[in-house]
């Protein structure tokens, strides 16, 4: 019960359909299991409602909320809805992100793909933080965790994805520095190769490869046990950062990557 009596917003609490569990759904379930009341935000309400059912069936407290977090009005509305429902906001977990979708090198990427990637991966986190931070400042407490990527510090041929995630790192540190005096902590998690539906089913569809082949090739790239991480690995890192176990930790960029980032530099 490390999050007993806490109220958490998980943005991106649904998931892409697939055989495994996504980062946002796993984090939502674990937060509820550890005692938090959880607001489940997703653009696809039906997917957030699936997460809500899982939590309620296990005895937890949660409610689903539909929002497109690239729109400021929706971010304002979700912050208000959480306070109206639960009275406070202790944790904001920003999990929304996309990859692929026309990304590539600087000379090949389209303006449309660049704008979409920056809007979804970076602007959305700015907007949710903008509208949640006033609540946390008034409380003089709060924790924000942003999901970035090891790609933010590595060399990849996906310029928009890399830049958007590097922006998440900078935004995280900016928020941490500006809000420490209010008792608010802000950190980022940098996932490596993960066996989640968005990654595996997404790559399999994009490249026309069998799912099992995508998993095998990605597993081979991971130093620790030649096995990708799962949504639960991200969830447990998020639980640690949101809990009082991490009460003296802010502005940190935490790789959860099976040792992939050891190769950087």
Q: Which residues are part of the catalytic machinery?
A: 161
Q: How many whole angstroms separate alpha carbon 47 and alpha carbon 36?
A: 20
Q: How many whole angstroms separate alpha carbon 62 and alpha carbon 232?
A: 19
For the chain, state the CA radius of gyration.
17
Using CB atoms within 10 A of its CB, is residue 200 exposed (0-12), middle (13-18) or buried (19+)? buried
Q: How many whole angstroms separate alpha carbon 12 and alpha carbon 15?
A: 7
Residues 6+ apart with CB under 8 A from 93: 8, 9, 10, 11, 24, 27, 31, 144, 145, 147, 238, 242
DSSP string over 16-63: -SSSS--HHHHHHHHHHHTT-EEEEEESSHHHHHHHHHHHHHTT-EEE
Q: How many whole angstroms separate alpha carbon 46 and alpha carbon 245?
A: 34
Q: How many whole angstroms separate alpha carbon 201 and alpha carbon 210?
A: 9
Strand spans (E) along 91-203 = 91-94, 142-147, 184-191
């Amino acid at each position: 019960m490390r999050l007993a009596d806490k109220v958490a917003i998980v943005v991106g609490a649904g998931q892409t359909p697939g055989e495994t569990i996504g980062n946002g759904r796993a984090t939502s379930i674990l937060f509820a299991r550890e005692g938090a009341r959880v607001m489940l935000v997703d653009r696809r309400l039906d997917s957030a409602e699936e997460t809500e059912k899982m939590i309620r069936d296990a005895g937890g407290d949660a409610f689903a909320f539909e929002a497109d977090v690239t729109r400021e009005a929706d971010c304002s509305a979700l912050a208000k809805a959480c306070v109206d429902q639960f009275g406070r906001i202790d944790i904001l977990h920003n999990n929304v992100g996309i990859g692929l979708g026309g990304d590539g090198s600087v000379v090949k990427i389209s303006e449309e793909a660049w704008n979409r990637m920056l809007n979804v991966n970076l602007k959305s986190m700015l907007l949710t933080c903008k509208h949640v931070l006033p609540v946390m400042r008034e409380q003089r407490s709060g924790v924000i965790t942003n999901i970035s990527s090891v790609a933010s510090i590595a060399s990849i041929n996906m310029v928009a994805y890399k830049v958007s995630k590097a922006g998440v790192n900078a935004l995280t540190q900016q928020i941490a520095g500006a809000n420490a005096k209010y008792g608010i902590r802000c950190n980022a998690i940098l996932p490596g190769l993960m066996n989640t539906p968005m990654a595996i089913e997404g790559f399999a569809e994009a490249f026309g490869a069998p799912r099992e082949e995508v998993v095998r090739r990605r597993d081979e790239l991971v130093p620790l046990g030649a096995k990708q991480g799962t949504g639960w690995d991200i969830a447990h890192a998020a639980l640690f950062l949101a809990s009082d176990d991490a009460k003296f930790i802010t502005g940190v960029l935490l790789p959860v990557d099976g040792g992939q980032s050891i190769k950087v530099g």
